[in-house]
Amino acid sequence: MKVNENYKRLSENYLFADIAKKVKAFKAQEPAADVISLGIGDVTQPLAPAVIEALHKATDEMALGATFRGYGPECGYDFLREAIVQHDFRARGIDIKADEVFVSDGAKSDTGNFQELLAADCVVAVTDPVYPVYLDANIMAGRKIVKLPCTPDSDFVPALPSEHVDVIYLCYPNNPTGTTLTKEQLKVWVDYALSENALIFYDAAYEAYIQGKDVPHSIYEIPGATQCAVEFHSYSKTAGFTGIRCGYTVVPKEVKSERVKSEQSSSLEAVALSAMWNRRQSTKFNGSSYLSQRAAEAIYTPEGKSQIGATIAYYMENARKMREALTDMGFTVYGGKDAPYLWVSTPGNMTSWAFFDWMLHSANVVCTPGVGFGSQGEGFVRLTAFGTHENTEKALSRINSKL
């Protein structure tokens, strides 16, 4: 038995495991310290009442023979696919059909799994810094990777690659930098993909945090994107579903590639990625739970919308306070306007990990070292606005008092 050698190319540890180890060691050394985490990207506010109500109702249905549900459709119940189309797309003037929406247990698995549909020799572009899933999933598959540096000099907007790439992963609003692309800037990538016959994987996990008018909520707001882009959505950050698990992926029927027709003939035929993804999911995935999907449906009701909107406003109030306070303390701060993340330059020439250690030991605040998201993240840390108001304010005043 031989193992997949590509796993050797992965970095040794998962970033958040390294952080957890350091925090655990510090807590053992200083048991009385009240450590506040502005590190890992998990939410803190409870589920919206409309979601809880839907979960109770769905649970009661499970208790009766007449309304019990077992296996559901692999790619999602129609009630949810229809709600998604209506509220997330048609309401924005985007023509996406319900059978182009594939409900899943979240965007991490979909962004990690979708590359299975691609040939092993596709060249893949990812930004640096990057959400590690895109990178690691393609390293596991042995693909060649091109890094697109995102630095303050270019406002964290990646430049087009100098060599041809087949696939580009984009995440906006961005994790980890908290920055966005305007429609104009995103159009550059759609035009590139169309002219190079490339595919864009667009991760819109933080779409609900967008405040600015010119920031696209979906890549399909850009003309031509339905021919070259797959878009990932998640209810994790939108509605606090990190523990419930539900998301969806849009694969428009127009997104096609070519493949050799058969082993006997070298002629090419067009193949729709939506058909391949449907086949893949039907084979390897048995659907997100009925409860999760009813919970997701509830966020599209008027009550659900206003409740999740209030929670997002709560987090964005943290982001605003963090931006203001950290800027006043003399830090250079990026992001945090259309995203729950702030990307903060470390003071002096401190490395990401040195500043992480200082934050932990002096202010008892956990941040995420930027270098964990790629070499261009060196000299930065990521702070999240997902804390409670109370903890966020406490953390800010502690950082201030220790400077």
Ligand X SMILES: *Cc1c(COP(=O)(O)O)cnc(C)c1O
What is the binding site for ligand X (CB under 6 A)? 41, 106-108, 131, 171, 175, 203, 205, 234, 236-237, 242, 247
- Which of residues 198 and 208 has its CB atom nearest to ligand X in the complex? 208
CB of 168 to ligand X, least distance (A): 15
CB of 247 to ligand X, least distance (A): 4
- Which of residues 238 and 307 has its CB atom nearest to ligand X in the complex? 238
- Which of residues 172 and 358 has its CB atom nearest to ligand X in the complex? 172
Cα distances (Å, whole numbers) of residue 362 to 35, 352, 403:
11, 15, 9
- Which of residues 39 and 358 has its CB atom nearest to ligand X in the complex? 39
Nearest Cα residue to 181 out of 206, 147, 145? 206
Three-class secondary structure of residue 47 per DSSP: coil
Which residues is 342 bridged to in the sheet?
A: 335, 383
Tokens of 269: 């035929």
Tokens of 340: 């729950």
CB of 54 to ligand X, least distance (A): 18
Cβ atoms within 10 Å, residue 224: 16
CB of 337 to ligand X, least distance (A): 17
Which residue has its beta carbon closest to ligand X? 106
Query: Counting Cβ atoms within 10 Å, is residue 182 exposed (0-12), middle (13-18) or buried (19+)?
Result: middle
Report which DSSP code applies to 82: H
- Which of residues 41 and 377 has its CB atom nearest to ligand X in the complex? 41
CB of 112 to ligand X, least distance (A): 9
Give how far the C-alpha of residue 322 lies from the chain's centroid of Cα atoms, to the nearest Å. Answer: 21
CB of 145 to ligand X, least distance (A): 17
Tokens of 390: 């109370």
- Which of residues 246 and 399 has its CB atom nearest to ligand X in the complex? 246
Three-class secondary structure of residue 214 per DSSP: coil
